[in-house]
Amino acid sequence: MTLERRLARAGFTLTRDYPAAVKRIWDAFADEDQKLAWWGAGDAIEPGEWAFDFRVGGRDVAEGKFHDGPVSRYVATYTDIVQHNRIVTTYDMWLDGVHMSTSVASLEFEPIDKGTRFTHVEHGVFFDQFWADGPNREKGTRGLLDALGSYVT
């Protein structure tokens, strides 16, 4: 079976208001222990490689395997950091070693009345079988959801 070569391009903006000061949310990204606590994984995920280097040019790696799902690998480079204001990264995703996507993500932190407005804007290019929501992605999603469920309880 030959693999059809194709790209899908997609972007989104996600805005959340959190009832917490900018500094607390910032620390959740800037402090390794904190970032690991919420970003890294849940109990349902076997953690793999992890690297954290929060500075411009620094590289983050987060690898994990959902209990019966694929190994997902995230590798990011910080391209711009303005303290308590914004974080910009470029990142790549792999599922079971297959290159899934390349993206640019910008995270902005804005103080508002009762906390912080967090704005996540992203543009990505999705490769070949990942141009649509393939079966691998679905499995991964389910694993992540399980992880979230056990994180909450």
- Kindly state whether residue 39 participates in binding other proteins, applying the rule CB under 8 A: yes
HEC per residue, the chain: CCCCCCEEEEEEEEEEEECCCHHHHHHHHHCHHHHHHHHHCCCCEEEEEEECCCCCCCEEEEEEEECCCCEEEEEEEEEEEECCCEEEEEEEEEECCEEEEEEEEEEEEEEECCEEEEEEEEEEEEEHHHCCCCHHHHHHHHHHHHHHHHHHC
CB of 54 to other proteins, least distance (A): 15
Q: Which stretch binds other proteins (CB under 8 A): 44-52, 63-71, 83-91, 138-146?
A: 138-146
- Kindly state whether residue 100 participates in binding other proteins, applying the rule CB under 8 A: no
Q: How many CB atoms lie within 10 A of CB 83?
A: 11
- Kindly state whether residue 25 participates in binding other proteins, applying the rule CB under 8 A: yes
- Kindly state whether residue 120 participates in binding other proteins, applying the rule CB under 8 A: yes
- Kindly state whether residue 118 participates in binding other proteins, applying the rule CB under 8 A: yes
CB of 3 to other proteins, least distance (A): 23
Binding pattern to other proteins, positions 47-86, x when CB under 8 A? ----------------------------------------
| 142, 27, 86, 123: CA torsion to nearest 10 | -10
- Kindly state whether residue 30 participates in binding other proteins, applying the rule CB under 8 A: no
Residue ranges that bind other proteins, judged by CB under 8 A? 12, 14, 16, 18-20, 24-25, 28, 34, 37-39, 118, 120, 122, 141-142, 144-145, 148, 151-152
